[in-house]
Amino acid sequence: MSTSGGSADDLTRRSGAALGAALRSGEVSAREVIEAHLELAERQNPALNAWLTLDRDGALAAADEADRKLTAARRDRAALDGLHPLLGLPVALKDLVSVRGVQCTAGSRILEGYLAPYDAHITERLRDAGAVILGKTNMDEFAMGSSTEHSAFGPTANPWALDRVPGGSSGGSASAVAAFHVPYSIGTDTGGSIRQPAALTGIVGLKPTYGRVSRYGIVAFASSLDQIGPFGRDVRDAAAVLHAVAGRDPRDSTSAPVPVPDELLALADDDEAAASLRGKRLGLPREYFVAGMEPGVEARVRQAVAALEAAGATVEEVSLPHTDYGLATYYIVAPAEASANLARYDGIRYGPRLGDGDTLGNYLRTRGEGFGAEVKRRIMLGTYALSAGYYDAYYLKAQKVRTLIKGDFDALFEAGFDALVAPTSPTVAFPMGARMADPVSMYLSDACTLPVNMAGLPGLSIPCGLSDGLPVGLQLIGPAWSELELLRLGRGYEALTADAEWRGAEPAELALADNPATRGPSAGRPVPA
């Protein structure tokens, strides 16, 4: 679609970087940009259910403030150049990020009506950069899921096919970016919940190194695994968001005092980016081509690997021998930590209080009716793993295996590999309802992503083509604190494939989502009323 004019459609189709340039030149105002994105999100949300909250008044007030800053800065070129690239641009937050005075549900009825009394660290950082928070997006309840079907407020649809899932748990954030409602959004990744939905919706998603981004003000799932990260429609946009939100926060003891490189805002143009791939040494883990991987997915990933080799990178098959234990280990560690974190939801301090009997009765009814089935399942699994007589047999042993998983990655990076390249998801987006009756099948959706969380490493998912008309993701994994290098590799692959036919494809069912008569997502295909 042309981006030469200033129509609403043109504005929503532009990248964040292109919108930022238009704002600085005075071609458009921040209010025009925000109004265009709000109008599209409001029009399509009945079909997609990507948003739980849209804050029109707050967003327009923030846009007007951004316009005042832009007007003042245009008098001084140095001041204009000093503005953050996110100034005046819309961003979506997953609905477990605290925004003062705005509802924060984490996709659960047990937090319905809870208004956050303070801003999360990343909310503060985005405001400092001048980004405009459009609203809060749908998610699997307490981030427990791989499809955004476990939200208490209904599933989110994938704009590529409205009868298919967008992945999860950050499916609302991914769907909002893929449908052009925002150029960027924020998700969280505990076992793949940024990278997997990025792959299934055809966008870029980055899970940073554990500790790179503060978790202060984020509703916790598994504290040793959760990490906040960006979605964007291209690598440069994801890098700009990371630059804004990363950095040390004294309120989070796991937040690392590691500098945030300004080079995140200066990724190379196509020719230089493609040339930078020459001489890179990449590992291709054989264990990530798992049983059940769709042939079309494997074909697209191997074509991407061939393109990297043709550009001068060396790709070697490698082994991560403890990968097969990753799924079992994750589903002991994560539920155990969730069991502890979710104990605070007692019907007294947060959200609704159900029942009018004694304190214990109210507690049991509130948790019984407030939590969904998947959350209850994981609380029970985690409580069992932590119980007397089973802690050593399960949780302690899982932590030892976790160390072995991390050791596999460390050995390869110490051997001189710059990064590992692998599939992000073994399948394309699957139909709604297809895995709801089989939790293990749903858990296998993250088989290629969760080892990275167990090791605390950064991982980047970038689009690498289509299979049966649906997006496929390529995953890049690096050593700790190597986000800049991963983004440069991703930018190089973008440059190599800039002219590929699939790059010009838009989500196939946006026109259906645009129809106000289209019903919301369900197990069957949405149809006009």
What pLDDT score does 77 carry?
87
Distance, C-alpha 371 to centroid of its chain? 23
Q: Mind listing the pLDDT tens digit for each residue in 32-48?
A: 999 999 999 999 999 99
Percent of the chain, pLDDT > 90?
Answer: 86
Domain assignment present for 340:
no
Mean pLDDT computed over 509-529: 70
104 within domain boundaries: yes
The pLDDT value given to residue 444: 81
Q: Per the structure, how many domains does the chain have?
A: 1
Residue 171 lies in a domain: yes
Q: How many CB atoms lie within 10 A of CB 119?
A: 20
- Is 353 part of a structural domain of the chain? no
The stretch 48-72 carries a mean pLDDT of 97
Note the pLDDT tens digit of each residue in 194-249. Answer: 999 999 999 999 999 999 999 999 999 999 999 999 999 999 999 999 999 999 99
Catalytic, 94? Answer yes
Residue ranges making up the domain that contains 211: 8-324+402-514
User: Under DSSP, is residue 115 helix (H, G, I), strand (E, B) or coil?
Assistant: strand
For 54-68, 131-145, 361-375, which range has the lowest pLDDT when averaged over its residues? 361-375
Mean pLDDT of 256-266: 97
pLDDT at 1 (0 to 100): 32
**Cα 511 to Cα 353: distance, rounded to the nearest angstrom:** 42
Say whether 366 sits in a helix, a strand or coil: helix
Q: What is the mean pLDDT of residues 260-276?
A: 96
Alpha-carbon distance of 448 to 291, in angstroms, equals 11
Q: Name the pLDDT band for 9 (thresholds 50, 70, 90).
A: low
Tell me what the mean pLDDT of segment 26-34 comes to: 97
Going by the DSSP 8-state scheme, the letter that residue 463 receives in this structure is E
Q: Is a pLDDT exceeding 50 seen at residue 375? A: yes
In a domain, 45, yes or no: yes
Separation in Å, CA 498 to CA 162, 200, 315, 460, 501 = 27, 20, 21, 18, 9
Instruction: List CB contacts of 272: < 8 A, sequence separation 6 or more.
Output: none
Of the listed 29, 147, 169, 339, which one is catalytic?
169
Classify residue 128 as left (phi > 0), alpha (psi -120 to 50) or beta: alpha
Q: How far apart are the first and last CA of the chain?
A: 29
CATH number reported for the structural domain that contains residue 209 in this entry:
3.90.1300.10
- 193, 255, 339, 467: the catalytic one is 193
The model's pLDDT over 424-440, given as tens digits with 9 standing for 90+, comes to 999 999 999 999 888 87
Average pLDDT over all residues of the chain: 94
pLDDT reported for residue 6: 43
Average pLDDT rounded to a whole number, residues 454-480: 98
For 516, counting Cβ atoms within 10 Å of its Cβ (0-12 exposed, 13-18 middle, 19+ buried), the class is exposed
Residue 227 lies in a domain: yes
Overall pTM > 0.85:
yes
In a domain, 216, yes or no: yes
User: If you write DSSP's letter for every residue of 197-242 in order, what string do you get?
Assistant: HHHHHTSEEEEPPTTSS--TTB--S-TTT--EEEEESSHHHHHHHH
300 occurs within a structural domain? yes
Catalytic: 276?
Answer: no
- When pLDDT is averaged across residues 325-336 and rounded to a whole number, the result is 95
> Considering 94, 136, 207, 280, which one is annotated as catalytic?
94
